[in-house]
Amino acid sequence: MTRKEFLRASMRSTLAAAALGPSTLGRTLRAAGGAAGDPAAPDAGRGGGAAGGREPIRLERKAIDLALRHAWTIARNTSTAKRNVLVRVSHGGIEGLGEAAPNVRYGEDWETVLSALALIEPRLGDDPSQFDRVLERIEAALPGNHAAKAAVDIALHDWIGRKTGVPLHRMFGADPAKAPLTSMSIGIDDIPVMQEKVREAEGFKILKIKVGLANDREIIAGIRAVTDRPLYVDANEGWKDRDRAVEMIKWMEGMGVVLLEQPLPAADLDGAKYVRDRVDMPIVADEAAVTAGDVPALRDAFDGVNVKVQKAGGLRMARAMIAAARRFGMKVMLGCMIETSIGITAAAHLSPLVDYADLDGNLLIAADPFRGALVRDGRLVLPRGPGLGLEGAW
C-alpha cells in the first residue's frame, strides 16, 4: 500500500467513525447509577474518600509472573519473563478486573505500579459510576504512572459493564463484526528460530517482524524465505541514521513490507519527517506517541500512531488518542505490551474503531490465566459477556 492509498483509507475511516455518532458510554454510566461529568449526580467525595458513610471502592492488587513461550528480543532488550500487576475493584457486590503491564521504556516496573496503586486507592471514592471524576481525580494527584492508571481504568470499565450487563465494545459504540485482523509479532532471534516462529504463526494473515540491529536485511530475507504473507516491521527506535533508514525502507518496499513502526528515536521528529518525505511506505509512531497530547506534533512526521492502552493510561485515554489521530487524518494501530487476556481483551474491545491491530501479547506468554478475546483465522473475536467478558479466576 502506498502512502496515498493509506491516507485515502484513513479519511474513509474518519468519516465512517463520525457517522456512527456518539458512543453509548454515557448512557451506560447513567444506567450504572450516575452520569460522569453530570453536576447533578452525587459525587464520591471531592477529596476522594467515601462520603456520608457509603461503602468505599475496594482496590486489591497482586504481582504476577508471566513466563514467556520464547525469549523476547527487540532492539533495546531481551526478556524471558514479565512481572505484571493484576487489580480487582469491588463495590456493591460487583467486581471489575484490570491489569498493569509496566514497561521500563516509560519509567515503570511492577514496584512503581504497586506504589502508585497504594496512592490511588484512597482517591477512588465510593461511586464507580462517577467514572470520569474518579479518573480525573487520580490524574490530578498522580502524574505519569500510566500502567498503574490503566489497571484501574480497565477495572472500572469492567465493573460498569458487569453492573449494567453490557460488553465494553457496546459501551464504546464499536461493532464487533468490524474487529480487524491482528498481526503476530516475531521477536529478534537467530534466523532459523525466527523462521520456526513464523511457521508456528500459520493462523495469522499478517506478521510483525522486530528489527533494529545490524542484521536487519538478513532477518527480512530469512522471513521472506518461508512466507509470502504481508509484513509489518518494527524497529523500536533501533535505527539512528536517517539516510540509512531511508535506504533500508526503500529496500523493504521491494520485500513485501507494507508498514513500518518507529524507525528512529522518539525524540528525533525532524529525522522522522526527513524519512517520511523520502519513502512511500506508511510509517507509524509508537514510542513517540504516548498520549493524545503527543499526536499534533506527529502529524507531519508520521502517517499513523500506535495506541496502547498501557502506554496511554487506560481505555479512556486510549479513546482520546484515537480521536486525536482521526482529527489529523492519521491512521491508528492498536498495540499492546506483554499482557494476560485481561489487558489484551480490554484493548480488543476498542479494535473495531481502528485500522490495524497488533494484539498478541497474551499469545507470547506460556500460560495465560484468563480467556477473553480470541483470534480466529487471523481476526480478533470479541467476548459478548458483560464488561470485559473474561473467563478465569483472579
Residue 392 lies in a domain: no
286 in active site: yes
How many domains does the chain divide into?
2
Residue 390 lies in a domain: no
- CA 80 – CA 48 distance, rounded (Å): 39
CB-based contacts of 349, cutoff 8 Å, min separation 6: 167, 168, 169, 172, 174, 315, 373, 382, 388
Catalytic option among 210, 268, 339, 355: 210
C-alpha cell of residue 168: 465494553
CB 286 within 8 A of CB 76: no
- CA 94 – CA 81 distance, rounded (Å): 32
Catalytic option among 308, 311, 355, 368: 308
- Could you tell me if 110 and 197 lie in one domain? no
What are residue 90's DSSP bridge partners? Answer: 58, 95
- Could you tell me if 92 and 231 lie in one domain? no
Q: How confident is the model over 285-307, as pLDDT tens digits?
A: 999 999 999 999 999 999 999 99
- Could you tell me if 12 and 51 lie in one domain? no
Q: How confident is the model over 317-360, as pLDDT tens digits?
A: 999 999 999 999 999 999 999 999 999 999 999 999 999 999 99
How many helices, marked H, and strands, marked E, lie in the chain? 14, 13
- Could you tell me if 146 and 79 lie in one domain? yes
CB 139 within 8 A of CB 130: no
What residue ranges of the chain have pLDDT lower than 70?
A: 1-53
- Could you tell me if 303 and 230 lie in one domain? yes
Handedness of CA 107, 110, 113, 114 (dihedral sign): negative
Helices (H), the chain: 3-19, 25-32, 110-120, 131-141, 146-164, 168-171, 191-200, 216-224, 242-253, 269-276, 295-298, 309-312, 315-327, 341-348
Say what the pLDDT of residue 317 is: 97
Last residue within a domain, chosen from 114, 145, 165: 165
- Could you tell me if 329 and 251 lie in one domain? yes
Catalytic option among 261, 287, 303, 360: 261
Range of the domain at 90: 25-165
- Could you tell me if 9 and 37 lie in one domain? no
311 in active site: no
Supply the CATH number for residue 125's domain.
Answer: 3.30.390.10
CB-based contacts of 220, cutoff 8 Å, min separation 6: 209, 211, 231, 233, 252, 255, 257
Question: Which SS3 state, helix, strand or coil, does residue 319 take?
Answer: helix
- Could you tell me if 152 and 224 lie in one domain? no
- Could you tell me if 113 and 156 lie in one domain? yes
pTM: 0.89
- Could you tell me if 281 and 174 lie in one domain? yes
C-alpha cell of residue 334: 492498536
Say what the pLDDT of residue 77 is: 86
Say what the pLDDT of residue 207 is: 98
Catalytic option among 121, 126, 234, 268: 234
CB 342 within 8 A of CB 21: no
Last residue within a domain, chosen from 123, 144, 165: 165
What DSSP designation does 56 have? P
- Could you tell me if 196 and 136 lie in one domain? no
Last residue within a domain, chosen from 134, 165, 196: 165
234 in active site: yes
